């Protein structure tokens, strides 16, 4: 085997290993399929969502009207800042 062939195989194996590592690492953050379907309203409290306002924002072009194709990771900080119900 030529040196170029050996180098080529090493490069392919190395990048493939990186790819596999990345793929497996993403499984940690991936959602696990629920074993039992969630029952709406079983726990917690539903959010107040002003659908009319969302619709207006879509019509104005402030929102796209479809699901985002890419998501940015939320910055670290105080969690559930807005989760508490308004006084």
Partner 1 sequence: MLGKSVAPVSPGRRPAGEWTGLAWLAGLALAAILARRRPNPWVRRAILAASLIICGWHFNVQYSTQQAASLATGALPPWTLSAPVFLVLALPLLTFLFGNFYCGYLCPFGAAQEAMEEVTRGALAVDPSKEVWRYARAVKYLLLFLLALLYAAHRDAAVLQADPLITMFSGMPGRFVLFLGLGALLLSLTFRRFWCRNLCPAGAFLALCNGVRVFRRLRPPVQPAKCPLGVRTGTEFDCICCDRCRHESR
Q: Under the rule (CB under 8 A), what is the footprint of partner 1?
A: 1-2, 4-5, 7-9, 11-13, 15-16, 18-20, 22-27, 29-33, 48-50, 53-54, 57, 61-62, 64, 66, 69-70, 72
**What single DSSP character describes residue 33?**
P
Beta strands in 11-70 (DSSP E): none
Under 8 Å between Cβ of 85 and 45:
yes
Nearer to partner 1, 48 or 87 (CB): 48
Nearer to partner 1, 29 or 80 (CB): 29
Closest distance to partner 1 from the beta carbon of 3 (Å): 9
Nearer to partner 1, 40 or 66 (CB): 66
- How buried is 57 (Cβ within 10 angstroms: 0-12 exposed, 13-18 middle, 19+ buried)? middle
**What single DSSP character describes residue 63?**
S
């Amino acid at each position: 085997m030529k040196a170029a062939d050996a180098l080529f195989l090493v490069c392919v194996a190395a990048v493939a290993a990186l790819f596999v590592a990345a793929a497996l690492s993403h499984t940690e953050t991936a959602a696990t399929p629920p074993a039992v379907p969630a029952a709406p309203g079983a726990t917690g409290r539903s959010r107040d969502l002003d659908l009319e306002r969302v619709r207006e924002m879509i019509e104005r072009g402030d929102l796209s009207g479809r699901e985002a194709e890419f998501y940015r990771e939320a910055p670290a900080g105080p969690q559930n800042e807005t989760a508490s119900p308004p006084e």
